[in-house]
Amino acid sequence: MLFSACLFLLFSSVLANVEKAIFLAPPTTSVPQHHPNLDDLYLIPLSPPDHKSVRTHLNASFPTSDSPRGTVSWFLLDGLNAGQRYEVRICWLATQPTSFWLTTHTLEEAFGAPELITSLSHYAYAQEARWKHADAEALKARRAPVRQIPSGGDPDEVRASILLLEVHAAADYFSLNRTLMENVPPVLVDIILDPYILNVFPESLVPTAGYLVCIAVIAWFISGYVWKFIKSYIAATPPRDEAAHLISKKTL
């Protein structure tokens, strides 16, 4: 059983690569409800507990001096619990060798830095052209439910803990096939937002941990049986030294 677990871990590490970022959810900020708002960015939202992961294709490119980390994509990390620890992972197939960089930005950081807001708006325009109306509605459905938090000021104010996730993807292969060297195919990825339990343990590791505990308990019982068996075996066999001692006494 342990062997098969090891084999599974080995295989999953061979077949898929993982890159991740660990972060603390920021304090809540006021989220604009009227246009232009976050929905107008057409980003794919990840919001626990219902929409923790997404499978999608990301554009990648070979690094250049202008863009040493390849092509950028943006995602929305929505409905976080302020102060809680999370990790966001990106998994991709080993058959599509790519380097990824994950960076999280608060809304203030992203909208305050000229290079970030330029990158974000370029991406948003490209996304708007890509999605149809139905897709845009599906994206909205992935947002966390609006939580009206009454504060001293505006009664309609909506506050939420939100981050923007910046993902850089640089192709990391060499091929004799010219097509593949000129046009990098989009990379199929899973992006997973994983809350930590008590801020120390990623939620998605709970089944693995349970499995290891099971193995430990079974191993403990088996070792008990083995130990009993050895003890009864020893008890049933006369100790050789003592027998030898008796024999030597008799001959004397």
Ligand X SMILES: *[C@@H]1O[C@H](CO)[C@@H](O)[C@H](O)[C@H]1NC(C)=O
Count of residues touching ligand X (by CB under 6 A):
3
**SS3 state at 24:** strand
Q: Of 7, 180, 212, 222, which one interacts with ligand X (CB under 6 A)?
A: 180
> Residue 163 or residue 187: which is nearer to ligand X going by CB?
187
Nearest to 90 by CA among 198, 196, 187, 197: 187
Residue with the CB atom nearest ligand X in the bound state: 177
Name which of 177 and 248 has its Cβ closer to ligand X.
177
In angstroms, give the least distance from the CB of 180 to ligand X. Answer: 5
Give me 35's structure tokens.
Answer: 């246009």
213 binding ligand X? (CB under 6 A): no
Which residue stretch of 2-10, 173-181, 202-210, 220-228 sits at the interface with ligand X (rule: CB under 6 A)? 173-181
What CA–CA distance (Å, rounded) separates 180 from 62?
11
In 3D, which of 165, 157, 117 has the Cα closest to residue 30?
157
Distance CA 80, CA 91 (A): 21
Stretch that binds ligand X, among 76-84, 128-136, 175-183, 205-213 (CB under 6 A): 175-183
Residue in the structure block whose two tokens are 């009227």: 34
From residue 227, give the alpha-carbon distance in Å to each of 112, 123, 220. Answer: 67, 64, 11
* CA 250 from centre of chain: 75
Considering the rule CB under 6 A, would residue 177 count as an interface residue with ligand X? yes
Alpha helices of 16-165 — where are they, by DSSP H? Answer: 107-112, 114-130, 133-141
CB of 173 to ligand X, least distance (A): 12
Pick one of 95, 179, 248, 251: the residue that binds ligand X (CB under 6 A).
179
- Our finding on whether 181 is near ligand X (CB under 6 A) is no
Q: Measured from the CB atom, is 30 or 61 closer to ligand X? A: 61
Which residues here bind ligand X, judged by CB under 6 A?
Answer: 177, 179-180
